[in-house]
Chains A and B, each alone.
Chain A
Amino acid sequence: MVQIVVSSARAGGLAEWVLMELQGEIEARYSTGLAGNLLGDLHYTTEGTPVLIVGHHILYGKIIHLEKPFAVLVKHTPGDQYCDELGRETGTRYLVTALIKDKILFKTRPKPIITNVPKKV
């Protein structure tokens, strides 16, 4: 039987992460790829509505509390770990690094931001 061991990474409390859900795709403008680039800014309005600014789009979203929270697992393969006392080959182990209890959902169409409006059209 297959057994997958999930264990907690640290003894203390786990981190709390927030999930951001976008309805669409994120692309890189240049061919360098997405890695290391700034996605955008996340702000909250006074009522608590999250606002995301990506490029020249602005998205409004809402915070949803998850009924079934997610856990962030990191996979550890046996090659990297020290061996167990039993001497068996330890299988892959998943370590929980964070929990996700809320998510921010952006499902509306983004609005463009226009910064240069001529005086007379």
Chain B
Amino acid sequence: MEDYEQELCGVEDDFHSQFAAELEVLAELEGASTPSPSGVPLSIAGRPPQMFEEALARGDVASRPAPAVSLGSSQGRAGKRQVDSDLQPAGSLPHEPQTLLRPPILEDYVHVTSTEGVRAYLVLRADPVATGVQSPLLHVPWRGGGQLDLLGVSFASLKEQVDGERRERLLQEWLKLWDLVVFGHERPSRKPRPSVEPARVSREATAPGKWKSHEQMLEEMLEAGLDPSQRPRQKVALLCGPPGLGKTTLAHVIARHAGYSVVEMNASDDRSPEAFRTRIEAATQMESVLGAGGKPNCLVIDEIEGAPVAAINVLLSILNRKGPQEAEPQGPAVGGLLMRPIICICNDQFAPSLRQLKQQAFLLHFPPTLPSRLVQIDPGVLAALCEKTDNDIRACINTLQFLYSRGQRELSVRDVQATRVGLKDQRRGLFSVWQEVFQLLRAQRRRVGQDPALPADTLLLGDGDAGSLTSAWQRFYRVLHAAASAGEHEKVVQGLFDNFLRLRLRDSSLGALCAALDWLAFDVLLAGAAHHSQSFQLLPYPPFLPLAFHVLFASGHTPRITFPSSQQEAQNRMSQMRNLIQTLVSGIAPAMRSRATPQALLLDALCLLLDILAPKLRPVSTQPYSTREKQQLASLVGTMLPNVEELCRFPELPARKPLTYQAKQLIAREIEVEKMRRAEASAQAQNSPQVDGSSPGLERLLRGSGEKGVCRPAPRNHEQRLEHIMRRAVREEQPERDFFGRVVVRSTAAPSAGDTASEQDSVERRMGTAVGRSEVWFRFNEGVSNAVRRRLYIRDLL
């Protein structure tokens, strides 16, 4: 270090002043004989980072949140240095250099590396005169009640390492789009971003790819601007992600920061459609009289995937209300436009009730955090805690707070294991359950944390050392919990059944397979008993089947799991076969039917029948067949009409010599032809017994049409067809049938009416015949005949 300084003595910079603290530490390091005490027991020391209180006291918030200070991460050294210098103006720090050889978990720190490569860590302390820009997120009391600063957990470091910066910024920008409508002032032009921006841009540029990230798309959507009614295009924002990541907090914070007062509606409220509508309209169109200080309302709807679909439809209809100049005149009953922003929060973005909402909403996705991001050091207590809570930040922080409030100042692994953490209820997907059953995670062998479902009394068993149960038991309980929390037990079992044969088995005696099959039978018995006699106290037992499978089959490598379809296919096939048998049986004459029950038919007769029937047909066309072969074919076709072969195709029986493909085709074609012939024959049988009673007038009609150039034979076709039509028409006059189908014989009641009617009829008939039977015919000439010239000679006149 000294050499370096000597080399640079000509160069003037503020290196010394900037890095005064570090230099001091370095000097100390190299001068010190023994390193400072290491392995500091983790302390949940109650020294509040005063940043929070300062920010609270100041109440002075930057209008645009700079990205939260990324302390402790080694991203941009320049940014860090700047913060550094902000927080530690030279000389004003009380010098208690807490140089640690390991980075402190709970406090902000900065690392310093000496020339030998020794790295030391400095604890940063808050400064009353700090002028650095703070994230506005910090000054909000944590939702879990009580101030976060009591815990000393660095909320900021936890929060920013979740990397929600960008998301928060997007949400805030969306909310700002409402400013024009709500507050009436123009949206400010985009100010040049702070200096961190180029770093981010460059980072983006280095990972190009053709696909835009979701955030980039969202940014573009934001830039799309407002729709004609001066509201943003997406009138509702939807935040989705696993529980405990800070979505609700984010919504509250951002809304409050933008100047709204937040009205929350969550799963504990009545969410029937009417109540929903009332509350939405109350929140967006009215202001509360007390409190709120004249701020407009912003509605935050939490757990929206649990709301009934009708309620979500109400929300959609409110969103889609158009202004009076656009919509059809419906009067004032429709209600006004939506003038306030709405933020919705859900856990599962693929819930079916949210489908329509998702299309119209500004969607922000919160991916689940990896444990490595939460804790940047090797797995310590916090890692255990994170694992136990399943990476749920809120649960972590609540647990810590809880422990602190009970008086505990030190946290050890034992404590982490022993506490019961309240987790939010969540449904596990089917595939994750199957994975859980079949796969043995490597990390599980070294598991430190424990399953929350572990009953407390097992923890207290035995001596202090046996507080950690064996990993096998941990797995046991974990899988059991997973199986019990999966919603559809039947689907889980079907998936297991479909997939368990694809795994690598460890023993060669197939004993595991037998055991598995026994378990499956047991499961069926259980389900049957439970539902048949409604003894639902048997229902805790079925989840043990996946557990048994896990014990029998779990191995280290990843199985490939497919969605179960074998049940469906088997059901389809069964119903098909049943239908076939039904049709076959129904075609049998009743005399024979008494001897041919479906079961007996299927099992005894049909297969052998097929053998008897199968002729040896040559694979050529029918023409060159000898008569005998034709006979055979005809008889085969006659008996073969229903699809007997399908029925007889049992997979286990030895395959008898099946008919060749050509033979099958031949037979099929013959069957079709035979069917057609029979259909025609039956249709013809209906046609023939009608007497030909065509009227004479009909013929005259056809023949005397008098058109030029109509040749003689043509009317005959006409005739035929018309006669046919007439005949058919007459034929359809069926005698009346009463309710039972008997023919009604009309008795001759009212004879007088009948007589006059018949008289009139006869007169008409006579006239008709007279008309029809005149001896003179008139043939019309088409065209105009004004000028017809004829030659006339005088000698004809004389």
- Which of A4, A23, A28, A121 sits near B780, CB closer than 8 Å? A23
Q: Which residues of A have CB within 8 Å of B706?
A: 57, 110
Q: Which residues of B have CB within 8 Å of A120?
A: 729-730, 732-733
Query: Residue B774 at the A interface, CB < 8 A?
Result: yes
* Residue ID in chain B nearest A32 by CB atoms: B775
Contact flags B743-780 to A (C-beta < 8 A → 1, else 0):
00000000000000000000011011101101111111
Query: Residue B781 at the A interface, CB < 8 A?
Result: yes
Q: Which residues of B have CB within 8 Å of A46?
A: none
Q: Which residues of B have CB within 8 Å of A112?
A: 701, 704-705
Would you call B729 and A118 a contact (CB within 8 A)?
yes
- Which of A2, A25, A115, A121 sits near B697, CB closer than 8 Å? A115
Would you call A54 and B772 a contact (CB within 8 A)?
no
Contact flags A22-51 to B (C-beta < 8 A → 1, else 0):
111111111010100111100000000000
Would you call B797 and A4 a contact (CB within 8 A)?
yes
Would you call A25 and B779 a contact (CB within 8 A)?
yes
- Which of B695, B733, B775, B781 sits near A29, CB closer than 8 Å? B775
* Residues of B within 8 A of A (CB-CB), count: 34
Query: Residue B9 at the A interface, CB < 8 A?
Result: no
CA–CA, A50 to B696, complex, Å? 29
* Residue ID in chain B nearest A114 by CB atoms: B697
Known: A115-B697, A121-B726. A110 touches B768 (CB 8 A): no
Q: Which residues of B have CB within 8 Å of A92?
A: 797-798
Query: Residue A109 at the B interface, CB < 8 A?
Result: yes
CA–CA, A74 to B769, complex, Å? 40
CA–CA, A110 to B781, complex, Å? 10
Would you call A2 and B798 a contact (CB within 8 A)?
yes
Q: Which residues of B have CB within 8 Å of A113?
A: 771
Q: Which residues of A have CB within 8 Å of B698?
A: 116
Residue picked from B726, B777, B798, most chain A C-beta under 10 Å = B777
Q: Which residues of A have CB within 8 Å of B730?
A: 118, 120
Contact flags A88-100 to B (C-beta < 8 A → 1, else 0):
0001100000000
B453 CB, min distance to chain A CBs, angstroms = 81
- Which of B726, B771, B774 sits near A115, CB closer than 8 Å? B771
Would you call A54 and B774 a contact (CB within 8 A)?
yes
Would you call B726 and A118 a contact (CB within 8 A)?
yes
Known: A56-B704, A116-B697, A118-B695. A22 touches B778 (CB 8 A): yes
CA–CA, A56 to B701, complex, Å? 9
- Which of B772, B776, B780 sits near A34, CB closer than 8 Å? B776
Q: Which residues of A have CB within 8 Å of B358?
A: none
Would you call B777 and A114 a contact (CB within 8 A)?
no
Would you call A115 and B777 a contact (CB within 8 A)?
no
Would you call B768 and A116 a contact (CB within 8 A)?
yes
Q: Which residues of A have CB within 8 Å of B767?
A: 115
CA–CA, A23 to B782, complex, Å? 8
B270 CB, min distance to chain A CBs, angstroms = 66
Query: Residue B700 at the A interface, CB < 8 A?
Result: yes
Q: In chain A between 101 and 115, which residues have their CB closer than 8 angstroms to a CB of chain B?
A: 109-110, 112-115
Query: Residue B785 at the A interface, CB < 8 A?
Result: yes
A114 CB, min distance to chain B CBs, angstroms = 6
CA–CA, A39 to B779, complex, Å? 13
Q: In chain B between 704 and 735, which residues have their CB closer than 8 angstroms to a CB of chain A?
A: 704-706, 725-726, 729-730, 732-733
Would you call A27 and B772 a contact (CB within 8 A)?
no
Would you call B785 and A55 a contact (CB within 8 A)?
no
A2 CB, min distance to chain B CBs, angstroms = 7
Contact flags A43-81 to B (C-beta < 8 A → 1, else 0):
000000000011111010000000000000001000000
Query: Residue B620 at the A interface, CB < 8 A?
Result: no
B569 CB, min distance to chain A CBs, angstroms = 54
CA–CA, A48 to B777, complex, Å? 25
Query: Residue B794 at the A interface, CB < 8 A?
Result: yes
Would you call B777 and A40 a contact (CB within 8 A)?
no
- Which of A54, A75, A119 sits near B776, CB closer than 8 Å? A54
CA–CA, A5 to B779, complex, Å? 38
Q: Which residues of B have CB within 8 Å of A40?
A: 774, 776, 778
CA–CA, A75 to B780, complex, Å? 32
B53 CB, min distance to chain A CBs, angstroms = 101
Residue picked from A23, A57, A115, most chain B C-beta under 10 Å = A115
CA–CA, A92 to B769, complex, Å? 49
CA–CA, A24 to B700, complex, Å? 19
B244 CB, min distance to chain A CBs, angstroms = 80
Q: Which 5 A-B pairs have the closest CB atoms?
A: A115-B768, A116-B697, A54-B778, A55-B774, A24-B780
| Subset of 16 A-B contacts with CB under 8 Å | A4-B798, A28-B776, A38-B776, A40-B774, A40-B776, A53-B771, A56-B772, A56-B774, A110-B780, A112-B705, A115-B765, A115-B771, A116-B697, A118-B726, A120-B729, A121-B725
